[in-house]
Structure 1
Amino acid sequence: MMTNLFSTFDPSTNLGTSLNWLSTFIGVFLIPMMFWFIPSRLQIIWIMITNTLHKEFKILMNSQKMNGSTLIFIALFSMIMFNNLMGLFPYIFTSTSHMVLTLGMALPLWISFMIYGWINNTIHMFAHLVPQGTPPVLMPFMVCIETISNVIRPGTLAIRLAANMIAGHLLMTLLGNTGPSLSFIMINFLIITQILLLVLESAVAIIQSYVFAVLSTLYSSEVN
């Protein structure tokens, strides 16, 4: 029995511990299965996805010096997408709906980009604070605006992912709680609506992981 609508996102279990966070690592046990059959259909599909992401991220990064750096963002995409999709299954904790996980991924990336950029490309980083063609009168204001927009980047990445995961799950929970009080005909409509919402949430789970990875790639390209 839920005491609160948001208790579906509560990481604590009946034992009083945060064992629900272990759902983040379920993929570690599932990934080796795809290597038993070579080449399996799952492996072929995943290689195609990885190659497509590698080509796209390589274009976005626009850097020839770090050829293997796209693997970081492909791994980030894979982890977020897996956790988003696992959260749609019953009784599996949605870890990406918590700022602890989303900010824990966004903040170290952003800090490492900033440290690398300010140490190796200091003039380039200063140039980013004043967009080209800015009138001299507006330059102090543009520096403040660009600095603020740069500082809030990890927060926007984390909040966007967590908020999208929470919104869809809350809507499905609200509709599901109305089931016992509905008539037989309305329950049929409710089931159809829930199935459509589940399809939408599956698309959102993939899109949000892609957006997180692409924005991280764009932020890294600015420091090179």
Structure 2
Amino acid sequence: MVSPLNFVSLLVLVNSACFVDSQLAQKESPIINTKLDKRKKILTWNSRRNVTQQECIIDIPFEDPIRPTVEVSDDNSYACTFVNHLVHRGANLTVNVTADGQVYQEFLTIPNPGKEGSGGTNLSCLIYNIRFMNCSWMPGPAAPADVSYHLYMWASLHGNVSECSWYILDSTGTRVGCHFENLDEPHNTDNYFFLLNGTATRPPPSNFWTRFPL
């Protein structure tokens, strides 16, 4: 049998435990499932509870911080895109949200995976006869002798990514261009997005990312 005094003590302990759990939940960051699509340059995350403010900050070497617009969905998912900004030198991404009057942060880093000056340069592309496209680039001045470049293309921000299947080689056997066939029907708002990276024995070349309006 529980005496009245013991019952009161038990009630106080239960209420205290609930209060502590509530405090811990409030201190826990609401930011979860943070993901970065490096090719499409889209940062997404979810929130475990309601937030009153949210922002993305992108810090790129030698440039001012950038704050793109955050897209908010009904299911408490968030996304920000930075397709207009070149990040082949690396970048730091910060997510700031405010919940219950407290600011929480999440940090991600896009490293520059290769040696400076080793990535392809002067990428340019030309569409002809509506369905064909030729792209060309120059090897970086510090590119390793055995460098093998890879060009990826997608025709919309959320479209499928395709690697070049027909590379053009220079006299040394280095990939310096690509031929694409069977492009989709063009639209007035189309953009083509490109990622040029590469492989080598050591060290790997750095990445180059850009987009061209149609």
**Structure with greater Cα Rg:** 2
Compute the TM-score of the two structures, normalised by the length of structure 2.
0.20
More helix by share: 1
More strand by share: 2
